Every structure is written in C-alpha cells, then in structure tokens.
Amino acid sequence: MDAAGDEFMKYRSPLVSRYASKEMAYNFSDRKKFSTWRKLWIYLAKAEKALGLPITDAQVEEMEARAEDIDFAMAAEEERKLRHDVMAHVHTFAHCCPAAAPIIHLGATSCYVGDNTDLIVLRDGFDILLPKLARVIDRLANFADKYANLPTLGFTHYQPAQLTTVGKRACLWLQDLTMDMRNLQRARDDLRFRGVKGTTGTQASFLQLFQGDHDKVEELDRMVTEMAGFKKAYLVTGQTYSRKVDIDSLSVLSSLGATVHKTCTDIRLLANLKEIEEPFEKEQIGSSAMPYKRNPMRAERCCSLARHLVALLFDPLQTASVQWLERTLDDSANRRISLPESFLTADIILSTLQNITEGLVVYPKVIERHIRHELPFMATENIIMAMVKAGGNRQDCHEKIRVLSQQAAAVVKQEGGDNDLLARVQADPYFAPILGQLDALLDPKTFIGRAPQQVSRFLSEEVYPLLEPYKSKMDVKIELEL
C-alpha cells in the first residue's frame, strides 16, 4: 500500500483533517514545538554568554544557523532509545551543531523548553483567536444595526411574549461575545513566562553556574523572558508553571463555547420558524431523503463542537488538582490532548460562526405573519386604554376583550384557524368609538419599546470601541469547507 493509502488506515483527528485553519494547526504542530525549543536553547545560550559564561559567538551562530534544520527521523530514533523527548532533541540539535553541543540546554531542565514553549503556544493561540472573534462581532454588529428597527416576536419560555426587534435580539448574542472578547484578552495578557527556574523551581543549577551570584541568575531569567516576548515571568514555580494557568486559558474558551452554543441554538430555532436562515449554497443538499429541507448544518456544527469545547475544561481542572508537590508527570499526556483541542475547536467554531454571520438571511414577511398571529392578543391592553380614554369603563371593556380573546384562541387552537380577534372587535358595536384607531393601536413599531435605541447605544458604546484594535484585520473572508 502506498503512503497516501496508508493514511486511511489510522485515526486522524477531524479537528485537523477536516476543520481547523492552517495557522492554528501549525501553532500546535511538531515543527512549531521543536523549532521553539531550539529558539529557547539559543535564548538561554545568548543570555548565559552575555552574563559571562564561557560560550562563544561561533557556538551561538552555529545554533542560529541550524535552528530550523530539524531531522525528525533522527529525533524519533533517539526518543525510541532514550525514552525522553527533550533529550532526544538535545542530541539531534547537538548532532548538527557539534561546536555548540557542550552548551546546549546548559543548566536547564526539560520543562525549560517544554513549559515555556507551551506558554508561547498558548499566547500565539490567543493571538490567532482574537481577530477571528473580532470579525464575528463585527459581522454580527452590522446585522444588528441593519435590523435594529425590524419588529419581531420576542419569546420567553419559547412562548410568544412582547415584541422586540431582530437587531435587539442579535445584541443579546453580541453582548455575550463581547464578554468573551474581554475574557480572551485578559487570559492572553495574564500569561507569564516560566522562565529559567531549574529542576524544582529553585534555580539551584543556575546559581551554581554563576558561582552563587543571585543577581546574575535573576538577570538571566529576565533576559530570556524578554527574548521570548513576555513582560513578566512567574516568580515562583515548581518544576512546571502552575497548572492553574491552563485552567484560566481553557475556561475562557469553554465560556466562549457556551456563548456560541446559545447563539447557534437560537439560529436553529429561528430557522425552524423560517424567520432567519444561515447561508445555504445553491447546490447544497439538506437531506438525502427530503429534497425540500434546508438544514442549519453550520449552526449544528457549531453546537456540536461547542459542546466538546465546554467539556474540555474538566481536563485542566482535574489536572491542576492532582499535581503533587513540585510536579508529577500525569499532566503530560492529558495536556497534549486538552490544550491543542481547546484552541483548535475554538478556532473552527469562530471560522464557522463568521461564515454564518456574514450570510444570515432574514425573511421579514414571515416575521410579519407571525406577529399578526399574536399581536391582537398583545394589543388588548392598548385597546382597553383607548376605550377608557373614549369614555368606557375599564372593567366592562376588560370582560368584553376577555370573552372575545377566548373565542379567538379557540379558533386558533381547536380549529387551526387564524387569529380573528381583530375582526371580532371590529364586529362588536361596543368598540365603535375606537374603530378608527385600531390600525395605529396594532402597529408593531409601537410595541418594541426602546429596542432600536438600545441597539444604537450598545453598538456605539460597547462594541465598536472593542473592535478598534482589530480594524486592519477585518477584511479576511472565510472559505468554509462543508
């Protein structure tokens, strides 16, 4: 069997093979990981040299020249022999840098490259997600602004309630997304570097290298942290950085998953009502058996993956709780799965949601028809008030309306007919004084309160300022594989 055919003989994660963007898939790739390890060894050597250790320019230059020259086959063979991934890559790097071989990884423990790389990858993962979330918010803000004034049935308990507007409802989704935006930014900015801490976090090996000079050890930590692009390092660690950092990172992604699930569930409910639909390709098939169907598959995909994203939070919660003393290794295999999968899943969800929000289709006539079915019931209080102003008695009018409403409800529920309350009111001589006002009393725009004004203020005060830093990244389009 050829190599291509062999690919179909083993499990491939659909997160990568089917859904994920190239940039996020690369962020968690072996190439990114091991090339970052080499950068970290170079940062360490440069800082140690600058602080007086016997490391030459030639050794540093050799490491820099061969940083991307990774022999993955040799590294795999070394790992089979040594049963240690970091030492396998130390040997592999040393093989192509013979002059620098004696000083690669000098004074460091495995977590120097492992944990620091994880922190770089988490940071870079957030940097990939934040512009994508900004684009979703931007597209949805455009939608909310466009439909700020379009009345629609509001629902509580999924039962028709007072009217709202299509744009105002979109702002409910937007508000959750803006909270996620701030959460992701905070989690990204709160990340620190593990830095140069040694085997149990005491920096003992580096204190020995610098012959008891504490200031040099602190400066080494500061220099390497700065080279890696971090403003701060954790002042205390065990062998690893605290696994609560992983909880913080994945909890904001899990929270984003909850937001997306709620939003896309709403879209699916509205698709059933035929009020709003996600984009549907000209040749797309909704069902193999029912040609007329237009299934909301993008929103369903988001819900499906969001459920996984929410569930992944339990991994770092449990991992952090069972780290013994300065560390155990039972975090490693779990983190190899939970960290990449959380970011890959969030990445896919945001790409899909951008595609949905760029192409949402609204059917105003269907929305209007649904309003017409329910509005006469909602307008009863307006009718009573108008009758009182015309000289009627509130209790008498209330009883008249109650009887007519019950009759109209029976037509709707028992006979499957349309809501004929308005016709019953018009036919009853009691309501003759206000017949000329009925159209105005039943104008949907008089039932939406301050919804349009709320949309305008929310977008201008909460949404647009949040998007300002991402203006240059707004034009990216999503080509979604279905």
Residue type, 105: H
What kind and span of H or E run contains 141?
helix 110-146
Structure tokens at 137: 């918010």
Active site residue ranges: 157, 287
Identify whether the C-beta of residue 73 lies closer than 8 Å to the C-beta of residue 63.
Answer: no
The rounded Cα 97 to chain-centroid distance in angstroms is 42
Alpha carbons 451 and 445: distance in angstroms, whole number: 10
Structure tokens at 456: 């305008």
Neighbouring C-alpha atoms within 13 Å toward the C-beta of 465: 6
| Per-residue exposure over 48-57, b if at least 16 CB sit within 10 Å of its own CB, e if not | bbebebebee
**Residues 288, 293, 299, 304: is their CA dihedral positive or negative?**
negative
Alpha carbons 184 and 347: distance in angstroms, whole number: 13
Alpha carbons 170 and 141: distance in angstroms, whole number: 8
State the angle between helix axes of 451-458 and 166-190 in degrees (0 to 180), rounded to the nearest 10. 30
Identify whether the C-beta of residue 260 lies closer than 8 Å to the C-beta of residue 349.
Answer: yes
Alpha carbons 262 and 377: distance in angstroms, whole number: 29
Radius of gyration for the chain, computed over Cα atoms and rounded to the nearest angstrom: 31
Neighbouring C-alpha atoms within 13 Å toward the C-beta of 466: 26
Length of the chain: 482
Alpha carbons 461 and 444: distance in angstroms, whole number: 27
3-state secondary structure of 162: strand
Contacts of 201 (CB under 8 A, 6+ apart): 236, 237, 238, 239, 326
